[in-house]
């Protein structure tokens, strides 16, 4: 990873997530925020981009045989360089216009524990998309900056960046990361757990977008303990079907998912030097990322660690906002 201080000022920064791609410009802030998706025709033979971002999301699980919707990242890391460079080219073009995009230098967020091969793949995709000399920034660091943590002070701060594909836990102090761990689960794994639960317990098939809608609906209704209506296909009658599920049923699914995250936080706390631990006891834990709002996650972290837990303002935008501040430094 290159040092930010050695960088000739980049003009844009990219939060390239498993679920969403966000671009910020130094002088204008957030200028692009769309799903990380591309739809191709004839992907295996001669791939042709049909749609990207929001337009591609409308096509998920609705494509005919010749078309396929692809995600460039899975579990926080790049899996498909071609799709990634197509999406970056589309996003940078949409955000900046074609002429400008070809000359742009960029800062790109990357998981703190990404391997060298994963970092190289991301840089190759950026280069293929026409971006010059991209520089990588660890996402938990960017998230902390975006959430307003004074990262350069000699004081420990514990950040849990809860994304769609990966959850990263980091203790920061003096402008660096002292202890980091990640677990390759996030909001997408929770959507899958909800899908599996309905399949096995209610004999009902639902799509990925429905699972995500159920999760978000549950976030809103849980405090009122309201039941949720779910629509899908019955595995018994094989036809369209709807049913009502109680918030308590989803509590159980979410509890199992959140346990993997609390375990990772426990490992980080166990590996944190005593002076930093003292700071964490006073300041608690800060949750960032779109999945920070997941019900029970905050409660379970509080119960498991005994530390106070806060959710950042606009948690899903913390990485992008942090990258924006780093562009201005």
Ligand X SMILES: Nc1ncnc2c1ncn2[C@@H]1O[C@H](COP(=O)(O)OP(=O)(O)OP(=O)(O)O)[C@@H](O)[C@H]1O
CA–CA separation, 75 and 187 (whole Å): 10
How many residues contact ligand X, by CB under 6 A? Answer: 23
CA–CA separation, 51 and 49 (whole Å): 6
Our finding on whether 165 is near ligand X (CB under 6 A) is yes
Q: What tokens appear for 222 in the block? A: 């849980």
> Binding site annotation covers 212?
yes
> Binding site annotation covers 214?
yes
Our finding on whether 188 is near ligand X (CB under 6 A) is yes
Q: Which residues neighbour 279 within 8 Å (Cβ) at sequence distance 6 or greater?
A: 155, 156, 157, 173
Closest CB to ligand X among residues 290, 322: 290
Smallest gap, in angstroms, from Cβ of residue 20 to ligand X? 4
Our finding on whether 83 is near ligand X (CB under 6 A) is no
Give the chain's end-to-end CA distance (angstroms, integer): 18
CA atoms within 13 A on the CB side of 143: 33
Phi and psi at 280, nearest 5°, equal: -65, -35
Residue 63 region by backbone torsions, left for phi larger than 0, else alpha for psi between -120 and 50, else beta: beta
Our finding on whether 138 is near ligand X (CB under 6 A) is no
Q: Which stretch binds ligand X (CB under 6 A): 90-98, 100-108, 129-137, 210-218?
A: 210-218
CA–CA separation, 170 and 77 (whole Å): 18
Tokens 């280069």 sit at which residue? Answer: 127
Smallest gap, in angstroms, from Cβ of residue 165 to ligand X? 4
Q: Which of 53, 76, 138, 140 binds ligand X (CB under 6 A)?
A: 76
Smallest gap, in angstroms, from Cβ of residue 176 to ligand X? 20
Smallest gap, in angstroms, from Cβ of residue 141 to ligand X? 13
Smallest gap, in angstroms, from Cβ of residue 163 to ligand X? 2
Our finding on whether 215 is near ligand X (CB under 6 A) is yes
Of 216, 165, 191, 122, nearest to 19 by C-alpha is 165
Smallest gap, in angstroms, from Cβ of residue 260 to ligand X? 14
CA–CA separation, 170 and 151 (whole Å): 12
Binding mask 4-23 for ligand X (x = CB under 6 A): -------------xxxx---
Our finding on whether 289 is near ligand X (CB under 6 A) is yes
Our finding on whether 53 is near ligand X (CB under 6 A) is no
> Binding site annotation covers 256?
no
Sites for ligand X among residues 237-266 (CB under 6 A) = none
Widest distance between CA atoms in the chain: 63
Our finding on whether 294 is near ligand X (CB under 6 A) is yes
Strands 132-138 and 105-110, sheet pairing: parallel
Tokens 């303002």 sit at which residue? Answer: 313
> Binding site annotation covers 275?
no
Feature table: binding site: 212-215
Feature table: binding site for ATP: 212-215
Q: Which residues contact ligand X by CB under 6 A?
A: 17-20, 73, 76, 163-166, 186-188, 212, 215-216, 219, 289-291, 293-294, 316
């Amino acid at each position: 990873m290159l040092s930010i201080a050695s960088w000739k000022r980049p003009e844009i920064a990219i939060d390239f997530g498993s679920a969403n791609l966000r671009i910020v410009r130094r002088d204008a802030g957030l200028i692009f925020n769309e799903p990380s998706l591309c739809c191709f025709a004839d992907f295996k033979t001669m791939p042709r981009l049909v749609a990207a971002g929001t337009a591609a999301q409308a096509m998920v699980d609705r494509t005919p045989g010749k078309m396929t919707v692809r995600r460039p990242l899975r579990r926080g890391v790049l899996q498909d360089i071609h799709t990634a460079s197509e999406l970056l080219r589309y996003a940078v073009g949409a955000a900046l216009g074609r002429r400008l995009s070809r000359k742009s230098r960029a800062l790109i967020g990357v998981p703190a524990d990404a391997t060298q091969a994963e970092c190289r793949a991301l840089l190759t995709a950026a280069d293929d998309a026409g971006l010059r000399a991209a520089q990588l920034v660890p996402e938990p660091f960017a998230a902390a900056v975006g959430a307003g943590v004074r990262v350069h002070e000699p004081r420990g701060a514990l950040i849990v960046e809860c994304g769609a594909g990966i959850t990263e836990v980091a203790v920061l102090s003096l402008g660096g990361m002292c202890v980091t761990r990640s677990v390759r689960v996030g909001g997408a794994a929770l959507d899958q757990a909800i899908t599996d639960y309905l399949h096995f317990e209610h004999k009902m098939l639902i799509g990925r977008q429905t699972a995500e809608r159920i999760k978000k609906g549950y976030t809103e209704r849980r405090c009122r303990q309201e039941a949720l209506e779910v629509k899908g296909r019955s595995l018994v009658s094989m036809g369209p079907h709807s049913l009502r599920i109680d918030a308590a049923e989803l509590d159980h699914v979410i509890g199992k998912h959140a346990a993997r995250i609390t375990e990772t936080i426990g490992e980080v706390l166990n590996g944190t030097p005593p002076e930093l631990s003292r700071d964490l006891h006073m300041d608690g834990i800060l949750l960032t990322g779109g999945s920070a709002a997941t019900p029970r996650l905050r409660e379970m972290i509080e119960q498991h660690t005994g530390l106070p837990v806060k959710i950042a303002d606009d948690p899903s935008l913390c990485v992008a906002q942090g990258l924006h501040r780093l562009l201005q430094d």
